[in-house]
Structure 1
Amino acid sequence: MTREPRDAPQFYLTAPSPCPYLPGREERKVFTHLIGRRAGALNDTLSQSGFRRSQTIAYRPACEMCRACVSVRVKVDEFAPGQSFRRVLAANTDLIGTLIPNRPTSEQYSLFRAYLDARHGEGGMADMSILDYATMIEDSHVDTRLIEYRRRGPDTAITGQGTGDLIAVCLTDILADGLSMVYSFYDPEIVNRSLGTFMILDHIAQARSLALSHLYLGYWVAGSRKMDYKARFLPQERLGLNGWERVERSRPGSA
């Protein structure tokens, strides 16, 4: 009798639910659990196959009549910021991102709460408590870190850390071939820094410094305004029926 190993992943399919990106459509997801000693290696393999992580779950879209969600990853070594990205970098030269263990703090939650209330007050995360936030940050069996962004201080050149108020945070997985931005948030009252764009640019630099070849941005959806920004980071690869396909320039409907 053939028996599967006890730690072999089991995959499940969700019931249909309203699509958060394209009105009038439904979505389904296939998912598995990322637990145990093989979680890290499994997360690497699944990420390269278009899956995303949420706590101890790896998932990807499995919609019957739609293939709009496209997994996107930036080619780190080949990325060169254009004029608009250079302006964003120049506006944030006084900030520094520090890689720290994935441990939640009340300061992070206060920033997270302000971000949700201002940007996603009616979203699925709107009612998250501080315990929910702690679970999102800590509940991981893979190599997960936080990057906290603060202003540079007089000792930053020595310590590599910023000082003062917390301005932005990103929950980030370190994969075998890249970084994966799991979730990011920032001070919603700061409107002149393009902090979301800056964090992506900084993650590209962080991946390069770690000799990693990709930055995984999650799903890009043509026709979804909230996803348009991901198409701007070129060159990138998008996962299609024939595997990862290189994209040199934005296609119609992107950015």
Structure 2
Amino acid sequence: MSNLRTLVFFATPPHNCSYLPDREATTMFVDPRAHIDKKLYSQLTVLGFRRSGSHYYRPHCEQCNACIPVRLKVDDFRPDRSQRRVLRKNEDLQCTMVPASFTERYYRLYATYIEQRHQDGDMYPPSREQFTSFLVEGATDSWFLEIRRDDHLVGLAAVDLLDDGLSAIYTIFDPELEDRSLGTYAILWQVEETRRRGLPHLYLGYWIRQCRKMNYKTRFRPIEALRDGRWRELSDG
């Protein structure tokens, strides 16, 4: 059984950064042969690692520390006016947590989302193999939050259950319902689910100040950032 002391890590060669132009990035990965159980995954997450399919990784760039792990303290969180408006707007939706798996219905929503909103990203063009390797493979107590309206799937959020909270992996939604702010709604729902389970944190991945697409994360307060090996409240987001 693997543990933090026995894990082996590998670093990728420098490659183009996915978030900041004219930057190179290096990523540190846990040896894919290691057995990562829920306890070890939780420990890695506290250290700033994320999961993508079967891979556990964190940025490891020599001359850049722009990628900052962030997490929300759910017991202290209170939605602001805009977030309360999102909750009211989506009162007609139904949400269910189901084990992470592949279905054609999920994939069709995923493909539509990537094709219409992320043609400039690494995941374009979408494929069934990509969906499975990203969101289904390597699942460790991993779930999909189904968001439905009148039994029609309008959103899907991949969520991992950790020892000290939930980890928000990725959210997709029907691009025609952009005015509903379903990405924000999915996070608000996960906040309440984390509270319901009596857990303290909702991990939101990496925040990059210069990346406009990540600005939404700092609208959830109080949010903590991992800097210099310590989780501290982020006051400059």
Q: Deviations over 1:14-56 (max 9, x none)?
A: 1111112111111101111466654322211110000000111
C-alpha separation in 2, matches of 1:112 and 1:198: 17
| Cα distance change, pair 191–30 in 1 and its aligned pair in 2 (3 A) | same
Correspondences of 1:7-46 after superposition (within 5 Å): 8-33=6-31, 38-46=36-44
| Cα distance change, pair 36–9 in 1 and its aligned pair in 2 (3 A) | closer
C-alpha separation in 1, matches of 2:122 and 2:59: 17
Residue 187 of structure 2 aligns with an amino acid whose one-letter code is I
Give the 4+ runs in structure 1 shifted more than 6 A.
none
- TM-score, with structure 1 as normaliser: 0.87
C-alpha separation in 2, matches of 1:195 and 1:60: 27
Residue 28 of structure 2 aligns with an amino acid whose one-letter code is V
- Give the counterpart of 1:199 among 186, 197, 201: 186
Residues 33 and 56, structure 1, Cα contact 8 Å, conserved in 2: no
Residue 169 of structure 2 aligns with an amino acid whose one-letter code is V
Paired residue for 2:217?
230
Larger Rg: 1
SS at match of 2:175: coil
SS at match of 2:210: coil
Paired residue for 1:181?
168
Residues 115 and 125, structure 2, Cα contact 8 Å, conserved in 1: no
Q: Deviations over 1:67-117 (max 9, x none)?
A: 111000000111000111100100011112200011111111111011001
Paired residue for 1:218?
205
C-alpha separation in 2, matches of 1:95 and 1:33: 40
C-alpha separation in 1, matches of 2:181 and 2:156: 14
SS at match of 2:21: coil
Gaps of at least 5 residues in structure 2 are none
Residue 170 (structure 2) pairs with residue 172 (structure 1)? no
- TM-score, with structure 2 as normaliser: 0.93
Residues 75 and 237, structure 1, Cα contact 8 Å, conserved in 2: yes
C-alpha separation in 2, matches of 1:38 and 1:53: 11
Paired residue for 2:111?
113
Gaps of at least 5 residues in structure 1 are 152-162
Residue 121 of structure 2 aligns with an amino acid whose one-letter code is G
